[in-house]
Structure 1
Amino acid sequence: MADEIELKLAVTAAEALRLKRSPMLAGVRPVRRLLYSIYYDTPEFDLLGQGVALRVRRVGRRWIQTVKAEAQSVGALTTRPEWEVQVASGQPDIARLPEPARAYFPAEVVAALKPCFSTRFERTAWLLEEAGNSLELALDRGEIEAGRSRLPIAEVEFELRAGSPDCLFEVAGRLAKTVAFGLEPRSKAERGYALAGAFKPMPVKAKAPVLGRDDDPGRAWQAMAAAALAQFSANVPGLLSDDEPEFVHQARVAIRRLLAVSGMAKTLDLPRPRWRSDLRQLLAALAPAREWDVLVTELLPELKSMAAAQGEALRVRAVRLQERARAEAREAVRSPDCVRLVLAIGRDLSAPVEAKGKIRSWARTLLDRRLRRLKRLGRDFEALDAKGRHRVRIAAKKLRYTADALAPVYGAAAVPYLDQLSALQDKLGAANDAVMAMQLIDELGLKGEQGAAVREVFERALQVRTQAHARGLGTSWHDFVETPPFWHKAAKQRARR
């Protein structure tokens, strides 16, 4: 078995030509091959359920059978266990696999295997040597076929042959200065399964990083950042192709989590990441799309007091601006700047970070600092105006993101506190949505007496909604303040032992 470590990016036909002419590839003889692959699974997609892909690929006159297990991703970088063996034909031969790979294939699964989809593409590959590292740069162009459905393949893969993964980011980053790549975190198998109807791509929420009680703070910091970067990358395809508002929302959540983690760097005596300001710019570019999504899909349907004609007048104008904001968000994510940002973050996370100390001590320092700030901003909570509640909301988010990421170190003891913090954040967010909606009304361009009447009704309905949330906010704040922090309880338990 070998771990496949690769970096995948999308590329258009024009940029593929620019790539081939890059000075970085001058003097390197490319190898061109036509590759045809058949992916197998059961009718119930049992392999997909295990995170396993089974492929039989024709390479020249040979057939190569490959099994890839579930991948771990850091943005565009993917690492996965992989097994390859030669077989006699395009049919899978599970018996030829090594024992660890055969464990994924019980007898009933083997008996039910059938072709699920196929890929056919031309691969142009260059073998590069970079500062003692060896990698393959492969340009793939072709298509995925599932029944009568087709999906184009147009991507570049940087696969590590020997050396350190950060060389993949180094080479990709240099090429990205002259080639406009796009983000494509999905494997060909993942796209093929979606094309075959195995699943509908859904927005990806944050996943807790894998942390152990004996991890050092540096490793924990990298794992937290990697989890946030993976969440952002996973939502990019949906954000670019689907109108479901949750893709934008979860992409922004991921960016905020990355910002929260990047702010922790100084606690490890690390320099503040250079990409932090670019990350803020990306967050700002996605903000209008989220704000209009909330107005159109959540707030307008709730305003029952508006007459049908008034509501329709608002909705038509709001949808037009929603679509414009969504297009601008997609342009920002498609931009070369966004790709270079993801590569810069990935490169930082691929290099080892040394930090002394114990993870729980570091966690307590971080969480105490963010809790103190939140309580300070929330002093005299009932008397806060909208700006004051907004500052509390941002501080609550930062505490929530940090506590969520570090919760695996504390186990189930963290759950009650996180539930209270989540409830508070939701209440604060709902109140802020109403405030933002009032600001968006000015952009709708409502004119004349009819416009004034619509605005008046809308403002009155929003005020009722805001007041309802404000009444519940005080209770949520009190409940949260009275809940003992889970990291304090853990420290007391250790002291009693």
Structure 2
Amino acid sequence: MSNTEAELKLRLADPTCLNTLLNSSLLKELSTQPVYKQLLDTTYYDTPDQRLLKSRLSYRLRLADSHWTATVKADGTSDGGLHQRAEYNMEVANPLPTLMPFMLTDIGARLTAAVGEMPLEPIFRTRFERHILNLTAPDGSKIELALDDGEILAGDKQQKLLELELELKSGQPQALIWLGAALADEFPLLPEQDSKLYRAAMLSGITDGLGQDNPLPSPLKKSSGSQPAQQVLGQMIIYHLHAIIRAQQAYLANPDGIEEVHEFRIAFRRLRALVQLAKPLLPNEEYTAWQTKLTAWSYKLAHVRDLDVFSLIWDEITCAVTTTLPQQARKSALTALVADKCQSSRANLYTEIATGQCTPVLLGLWSFIENCPAQAATEPQPTCKKFVLERLTYWLARFLKQGDELDINDLSAAHELRIASKRLRYTVESLAPILPDNTRLLTKRLEQLQNLLGQIQDTAFTPQLLQELVKASASRLTHHDAGLITGWQLAKATAAIESWDTAWAKVKKAAAKAKKLKPLENTDSNKRSPEL
């Protein structure tokens, strides 16, 4: 039997809530029978040189309730923990690996081409107790909830396995996201991007040539411009939600990585910009609530990122001082304080992310966008290209006015302009396929402006942080170091301020070349794009 499997995988961050989850009031409302258990012992097979894995195929034999089942899975995508792949299941009489039962299926020829005459041998196992509930979602979709508690075994290595699988038996995939979001509101859950197969291969050390499940490509094509705006932008918002979930998993794998935090933060900024663009298409109250939640997480990530940047600047300064004045080299009084502050902030962020506190926002927004009804309108829904050009034209006009009126010595105003430049840049980059080619220069100039304003903005972040650090130290040398970094940053900010006129002139020139984003003569169009 073959079918396309669709399941949402969620890692349970706290094993102590397993029983509480299974007995939650939500699941009792949706379940059609009590929880039942199975002990599943599964062995995966491949050729000695992993031909199946390298061909994006897998073969396994599973023992459950005294019955053996052979399963072949093919290809697959993973987006935000939602896994979809072709699956072929055959009941077999014994645990001897053979591809013969699949030869009459449409995967048979591909299996033969991959394996040839090579023997199949065991490569790793999974062994777990599965708690199963059959559920009916409010929209009528049938879902099998399987909570797996056990381990992955690869030679003498093992890894704990504790995950929730929500598998769609019939109905709409959106029901999986709705249920995942509802459960994440109550329990510590994390979207799981990697299949059991991939985690087992990682544990075995045989991932050479084996890729993770591929995320789906961007749904935006040039032809998308003629489609309804709400449909296309909804797809793009979900696409960027998936990017955040991938960035979150990369961060959790390396929480001390500066780049991982940075990419995680940028993924949030890109999503926020896109949601802001779509504001007129969304119910206002719900829009405000979701944007508030996204902003709160962006600030948490921004705080850690700002500390990372501060730490890097301090390292740069101490290195320069040591190189220039080696006779005055000493252990900095500020270094340990900065390191402690960074470590504390990172630990707090990691705890919040690792315990699934961000998951209700990500899955909740995903479910909301999937099920968001089209706004009632007395006129036809605009095409995506028309809507996007009108919104970006409005944003660009406001941005240019904001920059023309800026007092570059006003740090608060400079910060607001930097935020506006990021929003504009990230949105134009995300929607590039339906925009004129001449917007590329504009995004380049916006990025340069963003970096210049960042150097100025660093001087606004530093005083408050230094005040905290100096207060926590009894050493006079800390005051010396605080003065050193303040002077260093002021010097860089002064240089950036001197470059402001040139940088802004380049941005305005690039904006003028983005022909289809020039301010519209029809002011009624701009009125449909309210201030954000």
Give the Å deviation of 1:58.
Answer: 0.9
Within the alignment, does 1:157 sit opposite 2:143 as a pair?
no
- SS of aligned partner of 2:358: helix
CA–CA distance in structure 1, aligned partners of residues 492 and 96 of structure 2: 62
2:5 corresponds in structure 1 to 4
Q: 1:67 corresponds to which letter in structure 2?
A: K
Residue 83 of structure 1 is matched in structure 2 by 87
Q: Distance in 2 between matches of 1:285 and 1:310?
A: 34
1:321 CA drift (Å): 0.8
Counterpart check, 1:317 vs 2:337: yes
The alpha-carbon deviation at position 231 of structure 1 amounts to 1.7
Counterpart position of 1:63:
69
In the other structure, the counterpart of 2:141 is 133
Structure 2 unaligned spans of 5+:
210-214, 323-327, 376-380, 519-532
Q: Does 1:378 align with 2:403?
A: yes
Q: Give CA-to-partner distance per residue, 1:166-222, whole Å, 9 cap, x none.
A: 33244334444543334433332343343344389xxxxx99732132432112211
Gaps spanning 5+ residues in structure 1: where?
201-205, 492-497
> Larger Cα Rg: Structure 1 or Structure 2?
2
Aligned to 1:247: 260
**8 Å contact 1:38–1:90 — kept in the other structure?**
no
What do the CA deviations read for 1:446-493 (whole angstroms, capped 9, x no partner)? 4443222111222222223333444455443332321257863599xx
User: Which of these residues, 206, 222, 227, is aligned with residue 239 of structure 2?
Assistant: 227
Aligned match of 1:203: none
Q: Please give the TM-score of this superposition, normalised by the length of structure 2.
A: 0.79
Q: CA deviation at 1:323?
A: 0.8
Equivalences for residues 458-477 of structure 1 within 5 A: 458-477=485-504
Alignment equivalent of 1:29, drawn from 34, 38, 46: 34
Residue 428 of structure 2 corresponds to: 403
Letter in structure 2 aligned against 1:404:
E
In 2, Cα distance between the equivalents of 1:167 and 1:103?
Answer: 33
Paired residues in the alignment total 484
**1:408-442 per-position Cα deviation (integer Å, ceiling 9, x unaligned):** 22486554433333333233334434542343222
- Corresponding residue number in structure 1 for 2:523: none
Which AA in structure 2 matches 1:423? Q
Contact 1:413/1:486 (<8 A) preserved: yes
Q: Quick one: distance in 2 between partners of 1:24 and 1:484? A: 52
1:360 Cα deviation after fit: 1.1
Letter in 2 for 1:180: P
Q: Could you tell me how far 1:136 is from its partner in structure 2? A: 0.5
- The 5 Å alignment of 1:162-173 reads 162-173=170-181
Question: Retained in 2: the 8 A contact 1:35–1:57?
Answer: no
Change (3 A) 1:382 1:173: closer
- Separation in 2, partners of 1:435, 1:6: 47
Please report the RMSD computed on the Cα atoms of aligned residues, expressed in angstroms: 3.6
* Matched ranges for 1:268-417 at <5 A: 268=281, 270-271=283-284, 272-273=286-287, 274-307=289-322, 312-335=332-355, 337-351=357-371, 353-354=373-374, 356-379=381-404, 383-410=408-435, 414-417=439-442
2:19 to 7, 17, 20: 17
CA-CA distance at 1:29 after TM superposition? 2.7
Work out the percentage of aligned pairs sharing the same amino acid: 24
Task: Indicate conservation of the 8 Å contact 1:159/1:168, yes or no.
Answer: yes
Offset of residue 368 of structure 1? 1.1
Contact 1:410 1:490 in 2 (8 A): no
